[in-house]
Structure 1
Amino acid sequence: MPTLPDLADGYLMPADAQVRSIAIDLYESVADLPILSPHGHVSPRMISDDVPFSDPTDLLITHDHYVTRVLHSAGHELSSLGLGGGSQVAPRDVWRLFAANWHRYAGTASGYWLTRELETLFGITEELSLHNADELYDRIAAELWTPGFRPRALFERFRIEVLATTDDPLDDLSEHRALAADPTFSGRVLPTFRPDAYLDPDTPEFGVRIEQLLSATAQRTTFDGYLCALAERRAHFVENGAVSADHGVYEPFTADLDRSAAERLFSGAVRGQLDPDEARLFRGHMLMQMAGMSVEDGLVMTLHPGVRRNHHSETLQRFGPDMGHDIPVRTEYVENLRPLLQKYGVAPGFHLVLFTIDETTYSREIAPLAGFYPSVYIGAPWWFLDAPDAILRWRSSVTETAGFYRSSGFIDDTRAFCSIPARHDTSRRLDAAFLARLVHEGRVSLPMARRIAEDLVDTIPREVFKL
């Protein structure tokens, strides 16, 4: 029976024997360090309730749109994958479909993560296929009901020290408080303030959301009241352990308006009466306001722009968001962010982490910005770029301009809990491979490479995200 690729120490390592030996040495020095995951989308309720995963499909397929989009692109309806509120598809049938299409994941980032998960978690070394689908489903299902596979046990097994979730500004954060107060749980699960739906006038029912925000904070329906409400909710997040505020915007456009113009646009936004240019201006001004609040309250500002979210309207209407049809677009940072950086780029304590899915911006815009502004950090490869070759391209593109220490550390940005260690392990191996080449070429000493390898995993994310 065909077997999965060998995941021994040579996995993702350079082909040259001398460079590989250095890379393996560097990797082994960081392989077992704790995982710091300061941005992701795992549900805090999963950890707080510690309910077992229901089945292999729920564990590895349903919550990972990297996985489901491959099957959808091959012509399989999302409803056939058990997605959508009314779906009655049996999990085993979804697993069979996944196994029958295993070959489609070859060479993809998802294929690497899934291979790693199957071997390290379940000892599965054979290739998935329709012929062994039921056997492997049963093997995994039997493990899931053992104590060692409950979410908290896996949290400890994965050596996760810090896990950040992504939360709506009006969330009460009760799960985070429960975990923080639980003496039997030693990890840190931190909330992240995600205000997009309260800053973008094009969000469905934007006016209703603002009314709810103002009501929750007892603020008046004025621009000042709106800002006070947002600041109050940010303070609630800080009190509950948050270290960052995340912004998933279409473009990193910023604008600094006077108070009367901002008041006028806010009034129009609440009533749903802004034209496209006015809505863009309001979004840009609110991104500026969020930067100002980060200067005041210390929350790290992470920016994830450049995605046309929910590209296929029918899929959005039938299944909702986060179904794998968010598509990258060209993104410009230098001019769009200049107003914000003019005002806050050298503000003490301000941290702005810039992510992109547009590879052309790494060496042209983001690395040069991070190479000057003390507030700017280079976000790790995100989403479609969270893959071996893309990660190496990123490291090569940004390091000569900004160095290793202006980057964010690895960010897994995932909903798929069991893929977290595989993703971080991939990053550690690739950074070791990159550093090994520099050592072999005489560009970095081996002791310096060892220090950098450890700092990329530990010191840098702690500093960037104020952990």
Structure 2
Amino acid sequence: MGTAALHPDRLLPADPGTRKIARELYAAVQDLPIISPHGHVPPEWLAQDTPFKDPTSLLLSPDHYIFRMLHAAGVPLAELGVGGAELDEAGARRAWAHLCEHWHLFLGTPVRYWLEDELVGIFGFTQTLSPQTADASYDRIAEVIAGENFRPRALMEQFDISVLATTDDPCDDLAHHAALAADDTFDRRVLPTFRPDKYLEPGRPDFADLVARLGEVSGEDTGSYAGYVAALENRRRYFAEHGAVSSDHSHADVVTLALEESEAARIYAGALAGTATQDESTALRRHMLVEMARMATEDGLVMTLHPGSYRNHHEPTLEAHGPDTGHDIPIQMEFTRGLQHLLSRFGTADGFKLILFTLDETVFSREIAPLAGFYPSVYAGAPWWFLDAPEAIGRYRSAVTDTIGFYRTSGFIDDTRAFCSIPARHDMSRRLDSGFLARLVADHRLREEDAHQIAIDLVTTIPSAAFNL
């Protein structure tokens, strides 16, 4: 039965001289507050300060990295509490036992790195997960989360998260965010993020119902294209008034085009009637992405794009458990030609900001960095989702730094629903960036004092500038 101790030099360079520099850089950023400008923690957890139920619903069920690996090993998602499935105490223990029985599958993965960081650093459990330690680890975590000092608000303080952005439906009344903003006892920033994807997809079978609801909450008549656009503008302003700093967009591609208003209105009417063709629906969605950029120049929301996911790849899983249940798969992506129309219109517009994320790392050096190296509006988003692993983060730094340095990037994005993994993920990024900077210093490509300032800026001023914080 092994131990899960955390080595103080984990992820730092192996070369002794370079490691010494990296240690000093990491020491400067280790305890700085966390800025998390893109994530998926439910705001009601914080507004209601909801106690966590059990180890499985806290650590396993919300983390698609964990449950998709277990599913690949043959564990049914229903046994893991995925997709809203409710587990009783026995079910939650059984799900945790599945993780412990398959813990060896995670060797060498960032998932194991993060979870060991959590188990040791947060819960004080120092034995390696295994079938023999399943009950002991479950009981230890359950004991910790039962304490008053383990409520979500206490964890915001413990993790020192200064800014946490959530991801929210345009029709959300943002009552939880309003409650937090009005609470004088809570001094952390929890910001909504405008996520309009499904309202911009005219090919969806429920599109008419969605925009009808959009009309209800906005007070606009979405029976017409003009009313539809006005409703989106209305909700964006509402989000901005409630603290939002960005809008978040994820579609199959980032191809952009501009339709004549009469043509957009014709396709929109067809979409409401269910008669628009697939090509017409795609054209309107691409047109609406440009409209989102136009609106961003007016309301100031930073526009973030993260295309390149084949959503809901396994239809039986979608039918049984719903979306966001581990079977979104990356696909090849293209930015330069696709965004040319949008950037021709708004790439140099005052105040417009566009952060480009990708699941296709081949575009970092070929397209995203060169775009960010010319357009004042464009920033290179950090590796996220399938790319937020040590080697991929290193490749990202190597791919973009030659073209845009450090100050045209977004800062680290944890992009997680797994609340307790946030400090582990940000710490990983700080260690990796310290190592990357240390190698530049060791190669005499960067002065140590400059590396020190960059290390601090990467977790403070750079994300703050990119997201208008």
Q: Same fold (TM over 0.5)?
A: yes
Deviations 1:14-34 (A, max 9, x none): 110000010010001001110
Q: Name the counterpart of 1:177.
A: 178
Distance in 1 between residues matched to 2:367 and 2:81, nearest whole Å: 41
Distance in 1 between residues matched to 2:317 and 2:283, nearest whole Å: 29
Measured after TM superposition, the shift of residue 8 of structure 1 is: 3.3
Q: Name the counterpart of 2:271.
A: 269
Q: Secondary structure at the match of 1:301?
A: strand
In the alignment, is the contact (CA less than 8 A) between 1:9 and 1:24 conserved in 2?
Answer: no
Distance 1:86-1:238 versus aligned 2 partners, 3 A rule: closer
Q: Secondary structure at the match of 1:163?
A: strand
The structure 2 residue matched to 1:401, chosen from 379, 399, 403, is 403
Q: Which amino acid aligns with 1:299?
A: L
Q: Which amino acid aligns with 2:378?
A: V
What is the TM-score with the length of structure 1 in the denominator? Answer: 0.98
Within 5 A, what are the aligned runs for 1:134-213? 134-213=135-214
Structure 2 unaligned runs (5+)? none
Distance in 1 between residues matched to 2:166 and 2:83, nearest whole Å: 23
Distance in 2 between residues matched to 1:203 and 1:103, nearest whole Å: 41
In the alignment, is the contact (CA less than 8 A) between 2:83 and 2:325 conserved in 1?
Answer: no
Deviations 1:209-261 (A, max 9, x none): 11111222232221111111000001110110000000011100111111111
Distance in 1 between residues matched to 2:240 and 2:253, nearest whole Å: 26
Distance 1:390-1:212 versus aligned 2 partners, 3 A rule: same
Q: Name the counterpart of 2:58.
A: 59
What is the TM-score with the length of structure 2 in the denominator? Answer: 0.98
Distance in 2 between residues matched to 1:273 and 1:424, nearest whole Å: 47
In the alignment, is the contact (CA less than 8 A) between 2:247 and 2:304 conserved in 1?
Answer: yes
Q: Name the counterpart of 1:17.
A: 16
Q: Name the counterpart of 1:2.
A: 2
Within 5 A, what are the aligned runs for 1:113-132? 113-132=114-133
In the alignment, is the contact (CA less than 8 A) between 2:57 and 2:81 conserved in 1?
Answer: no
Identity %: 56
The structure 1 residue matched to 2:347, chosen from 345, 348, 364, is 345
Deviations 1:263-288 (A, max 9, x none): 11111122222222111111100000
Range that drifts further, 78-87 or 456-465: 78-87
Within 5 A, what are the aligned runs for 1:262-411? 262-411=264-413
Distance 1:337-1:86 versus aligned 2 partners, 3 A rule: closer
Q: Secondary structure at the match of 1:353?
A: strand
Q: Name the counterpart of 1:255.
A: 257
Q: Name the counterpart of 2:218.
A: 217
In the alignment, is the contact (CA less than 8 A) between 2:412 and 2:426 conserved in 1?
Answer: yes
In the alignment, is the contact (CA less than 8 A) between 1:62 and 1:83 conserved in 2?
Answer: yes
Q: Secondary structure at the match of 2:122?
A: helix
In the alignment, is the contact (CA less than 8 A) between 2:125 and 2:140 conserved in 1?
Answer: no
Deviations 1:345-393 (A, max 9, x none): 0001100000001011000000000000000000010100000011000
Range that drifts further, 389-398 or 211-220: 211-220
Q: CA RMSD in A?
A: 1.0
Measured after TM superposition, the shift of residue 52 of structure 1 is: 1.2
Distance in 1 between residues matched to 2:351 and 2:82, nearest whole Å: 43
Range that drifts further, 259-268 or 374-383: 259-268
Q: Which amino acid aligns with 1:293?
A: M
Structure 1 unaligned runs (5+)? none
Q: Which amino acid aligns with 2:38?
A: H
Q: Secondary structure at the match of 2:248?
A: strand
Distance in 2 between residues matched to 1:7 and 1:272, nearest whole Å: 56
Q: Secondary structure at the match of 1:140?
A: helix
Range that drifts further, 50-59 or 408-417: 50-59
Measured after TM superposition, the shift of residue 84 of structure 1 is: 4.5
Distance in 1 between residues matched to 2:333 and 2:83, nearest whole Å: 32
Distance in 2 between residues matched to 1:402 and 1:95, nearest whole Å: 44
Deviations 1:123-150 (A, max 9, x none): 1221100111101111111111111111
Distance in 2 between residues matched to 1:181 and 1:205, nearest whole Å: 35
In the alignment, is the contact (CA less than 8 A) between 2:47 and 2:179 conserved in 1?
Answer: yes
Q: Secondary structure at the match of 1:405?
A: coil
Distance in 2 between residues matched to 1:28 and 1:271, nearest whole Å: 60
In the alignment, is the contact (CA less than 8 A) between 1:344 and 1:350 conserved in 2?
Answer: yes
Distance 1:400-1:85 versus aligned 2 partners, 3 A rule: closer
In the alignment, is the contact (CA less than 8 A) between 2:203 and 2:282 conserved in 1?
Answer: no
Deviating beyond 4 angstroms after TM superposition, the runs of 4 or more aligned structure 1 residues are 84-89
In the alignment, is the contact (CA less than 8 A) between 2:62 and 2:82 conserved in 1?
Answer: no
Q: Does 1:37 align with 2:39?
A: no
Q: Which amino acid aligns with 1:47?
A: L
Q: Does 1:445 align with 2:447?
A: yes
Equivalences, count: 466
